Amino acid sequence: MVRKVFKSRVSALYIPVFCVLFYPLWEVGNFALFVVFGGGFSALCFLIFRSMRYEISDRELLCFYLGGVFSRIPISMISCIERSYNPYNGLAASLKRLRLRFNKGYKWNYPNWYCLPIISPVREKDFLESLKAINPNIQINVSDKKGWWRFWDWDLL
């Protein structure tokens, strides 16, 4: 099987969040520093988020972050995939996420203690179909509700 590559979604809501971090520069009246540091930091975070991707091979789901393999997940151990809007830390740059649940006995090797098995691929349907083709036992509980008021679905890419 040929490896399939899926880039991560990038949420539009992260840019104002990063700009808020530099709000004290605005308060002291230094608009130029606010634009340079706030905008520069937001652009850097955007580039980091764009480096996130997921690859599906014959047996594994590889999660890449900053050019290196962050996590290897055996597809045979995935039992369920469901929608999550949890803003907690995961391998996702969007608030529209997929939460992976595993078979009993499998422990996901967290690189950090606070990182959850949450991902956000761009072409979600293709991604789920590719995983289901390899492991037909995966239960998929993903709804695709749409609407302009669903701000957590506002993705840049």
**pLDDT tier at 117, thresholds 50, 70, 90:** confident
- Predicted confidence at residue 132, as pLDDT, reads 93
- Does some domain include residue 40? no
Domains in the chain: how many in total?
Answer: 1
- Does some domain include residue 139? yes
User: In the sheet where 116-119 sits, what is the strand order?
Assistant: 90-91, 116-119, 97-102, 78-84, 139-141
Indicate if the pLDDT at residue 152 is higher than 70.
no
The residues that bridge with 68 in the sheet, in sequence order, are 65
Which bin fits 11, alpha (ψ -120 to 50), beta or left (φ > 0)?
beta
The dihedrals phi and psi of 88, each to the nearest 5 degrees, come to -65, 160
Q: Please give the residue that has the higher pLDDT: either 70 or 98.
A: 98
Any idea what the CATH number is for the domain that residue 143 is in?
2.30.29
Question: What average pLDDT does this structure show over 74-92?
Answer: 82
Please give the residue range of the domain that contains residue 130.
4-11+48-153
Question: Does the global pTM surpass 0.85?
Answer: no
- Predicted confidence at residue 72, as pLDDT, reads 84
- Does some domain include residue 39? no
Tell me if 100 sits within 8 A of 73, measured CB to CB. yes
Which bin fits 125, alpha (ψ -120 to 50), beta or left (φ > 0)?
alpha
- Predicted confidence at residue 43, as pLDDT, reads 74
- Does some domain include residue 110? yes
